[in-house]
Structures are given as structure tokens and as C-alpha cells.
Amino acid sequence: MAQAKKAVKKVAKKPAKKAVKKPAAKVVQAAVKKAAVKKPAVKKAPAKKVAAKKVSAKKITWTKPYIAKPGDPVRIGVLGGSGLYGMAGLTNMQWRKVSTPWGDPSDELLFGKLEGAELVFLPRHGRGHRHSPSEVNYRANIDALKRVGCHDVISVSACGSFKEHLPPGSFVIVDQFIDRTFMRQKSFFSTGMVAHVSAAHPVCHRLGDALEQAAKDAGISAQRGGTYLCMEGPQFSTQAESFLYKSWGCDVIGMTNAPEAKLAREAELCYASVAMVTDFDCWHPDHDHVDVAAVIRVLLDNASKGQSLVAHAVKYLKDRPEHCHQGCDTALENALITAPEKRDPAVLRKLDAVAGRILNR
């Protein structure tokens, strides 16, 4: 944001100097040459151009979307949840600020190389865990990953378990969500540009396949498929809620993934989620409350396993097919419903990364 503002000021200031200084110099020159009337008149035209530039520059203050060129290496986005604030094994690391039309992402983005692929890591809660699940700017996070050229996004998150066979330390490669959140911005679309994408199959099978194989390679016990209940938080469930969600057949519970998966679909990103079990929520007769100290111990253990899983998964994602067979990357194809003449240019400008593919053709 700061860089963009500076750029705006630069554009505004440079020509302004010309407008003031040059005519003054010319006036002196002209007085000497006895042609003072003509020269200031000639200088009025650039002043108009300056004003036009200033207005258009003011409108866009966010990072320009990265346009991938043929042959560019795959960029894989990783959203790290509680306990995961960095990525082991990354080389050529660089934290970079990325600005979006939706506000600031949770933190700067960490760019680096891992297993020969380009990886962009974003700690969902920010370094030092500053943002609560209700306050994470999910739109900015997903937009930022799309904006810097990621096509695939792997989410790695801590969760509670509803199943006896999924004790702390287990991993679930989630394939469904039940969204019980109510305090989040969950769509990039609104009045002026309405869209309805399908969320029937909210995660990408190709990424799921890669994660399943990676778990086998890394010797991590991971269940393929499972329903993730997304609660608002930040408090953990009451026992009545826990029994209810268990009775619905949910596998795991967390506070972040549902809005993220839906936004990723709107942004035409392939998205998959790995839920790492830290506790039994509070339904289990032998573990009937969530103990934060115990959760943190398991969390740290899980975090290193999560990083190993991502490193193994990258090997299978380096050669990305031209198009996702499931259609994640064309999700907006028939989703934009607002009539072209009724679309709001201000809303469209904010969709430059998320819906650029379809709006710019």
C-alpha cells in the first residue's frame, strides 16, 4: 500500500513541478526575447494531462496482478494455520508486502523455493498469531495469493476431532465443509457484480491426490476425505454443540476453512485442506473439555509434520496440467449474473485479480 501511495504521489508531483517551474523560466526567457505572451499559453496542455493522470492513478492503489507467461514455474500458495507461521526447507526466502482491494492480508507473503517449485506462504493468523478467526481478512488472503500468480493453494490447519479413530496427531484431507460462521466476508461479489459459483465439491481432487500420496511418502497417517465443520469461535464448542456436530457425521471442527474454500473457488484457484487433529473437541467422555496447553503441545508436533507433508506434496504439483480437470480454474465461466450494462465499474476494478481472466477477455 505504502509503495503504491508513493507511486501515486510521484505521478502527481513530477508534472506539477513542470507546470509551475517551466513557465516561470520560459517567462524570463520570453521577456528577453520579447515573446512573453505565446510561451505560457503553450505550457497549459501538459497541465491538463497531469490532472488526468492524477485521477486515474488514485483509483488503483493495490498490487498489480501477476500475469504468468508460458513456461513460468508453478507457484503454489500455502496458508498456514495455528502453529504454522513459516515453512522449513524454503530457500531464496523473501517476505513481501502485497496490497489488495480488500485490505491487507494477514501478513506479508513469504516467497521462496521448495523442492524445485516456487512457493508462497502466508500465515493465516499473521506471524505471532495476531488475528482471531473472525478477524482474519480471508478475502485479502485469497486475493493476494491469486494476485501474485498462485494457481494451487494448500491450507494447513489445526482442528478438533469428532471421531474415535482420529485421535490427536491424525491428519484429514478434507473434502466437505459445513459453514456455521456468521461474522465473515465470504464473497468477492456484491451489488454491482453478482456471481454464484458452485461449491458442491469445494476442494480440488488433484491437490487431494497429491496430498494423499505425500502423506504416504512422509509416513503420516492421513484420512482421505472428511467433513470439516467451520464454527465462528473464538471460543471452543459447548458440549451441546459438540454432540450436535458429531451427530451430523462431521469428522473435524475448525474456525477458518469454510470461507477460505468458497473464496478460493470464486477466485478460480485449486484449493485443498489438510486438517491436523489437536484434540477431541468436548464430546469425548475421557476428554470432555479442550485443554489449551495440551492442544499447543500437539499443535507444534503437527506443525512440523504439516511442513513435511507440504514439501512432499510439492513434488506432485510441480507439473501442473494446463487446466484443472475438475474446473476449479473456470469456476466463473457461467457464474457472473449481473447484466453487462448494470455492472458497477468500481466493483469490477476490485475484481482485477479474482475475475480478471473472464472480465478482461
CB of 259: closest distance to Zn ion in angstroms?
18
CB of 303: closest distance to Zn ion in angstroms?
26
- Return all residues near 297 (Cβ < 8 A) that are at least 6 apart: none
Nearer Cβ to Zn ion (198/239):
198
Residue 105's nearest CA partner among 83, 74, 127 is 127
Residue 234, preceding bond cis, omega within 30 degrees?
yes
CB of 218: closest distance to Zn ion in angstroms?
22
324 part of the interface to Zn ion, by CB under 5 A: yes
Query: Among the candidate windows 160-168, 227-235, 302-310, 323-331, which touches Zn ion by CB under 5 A?
Result: 323-331
Helices (H), 198-343: 205-218, 239-247, 257-266, 292-317
The three three-digit cell numbers of residue 28, written as one number: 524570463
- Return all residues near 10 (Cβ < 8 A) that are at least 6 apart: none
Angle at 245 (CA atoms; ends 244, 247), nearest 5 degrees: 65
Find the catalytic residue in 279, 286, 288, 319: 279
Cβ atoms of residues 61 and 99 within 8 Å = yes
Find the catalytic residue in 175, 179, 281, 352: 281
Report the residue from 78, 114, 153, 204 that binds Zn ion according to the rule CB under 5 A.
204
CB of 79: closest distance to Zn ion in angstroms?
16
Query: Among the candidate windows 5-13, 54-62, 169-177, 203-211, which touches Zn ion by CB under 5 A?
Result: 203-211
CB of 177: closest distance to Zn ion in angstroms?
16
Residue 352's nearest CA partner among 146, 185, 68, 153 is 146
Residue 340, preceding bond cis, omega within 30 degrees?
no
Number of other CB atoms surrounding residue 207 within 10 Å: 27
Nearer Cβ to Zn ion (10/325):
325
Query: Among the candidate windows 14-22, 95-103, 171-179, 269-277, which touches Zn ion by CB under 5 A?
Result: 269-277
Report the residue from 134, 185, 326, 330 that binds Zn ion according to the rule CB under 5 A.
326
Number of other CB atoms surrounding residue 88 within 10 Å: 12
Report the residue from 275, 328, 354, 355 that binds Zn ion according to the rule CB under 5 A.
328
Nearer Cβ to Zn ion (255/331):
331
Written as one letter, the residue type at 236 is F
Residue 110's nearest CA partner among 257, 310, 352 is 310
CB of 115: closest distance to Zn ion in angstroms?
20
270 part of the interface to Zn ion, by CB under 5 A: yes
CB of 270: closest distance to Zn ion in angstroms?
3
Binding mask 274-293 for Zn ion (x = CB under 5 A): --------------------
The cell 484431507 sits on which residue?
Answer: 173
**Has 281 been annotated as catalytic?**
yes
150 part of the interface to Zn ion, by CB under 5 A: no
Written as one letter, the residue type at 34 is K
- Return all residues near 114 (Cβ < 8 A) that are at least 6 apart: 87, 89, 90, 91, 310, 311, 314
Number of other CB atoms surrounding residue 2 within 10 Å: 9
61 part of the interface to Zn ion, by CB under 5 A: no
Distance CA 277, CA 267 (A): 28
Total residues interacting with Zn ion, rule: CB under 5 A: 5
Nearer Cβ to Zn ion (156/272):
272
330 part of the interface to Zn ion, by CB under 5 A: no
Query: Among the candidate windows 196-204, 241-249, 288-296, 311-319, which touches Zn ion by CB under 5 A?
Result: 196-204
- Residues annotated as catalytic (active site), given as ranges: 279, 281
Q: Which residues bind Zn ion (CB under 5 A)?
A: 204, 270, 324, 326, 328
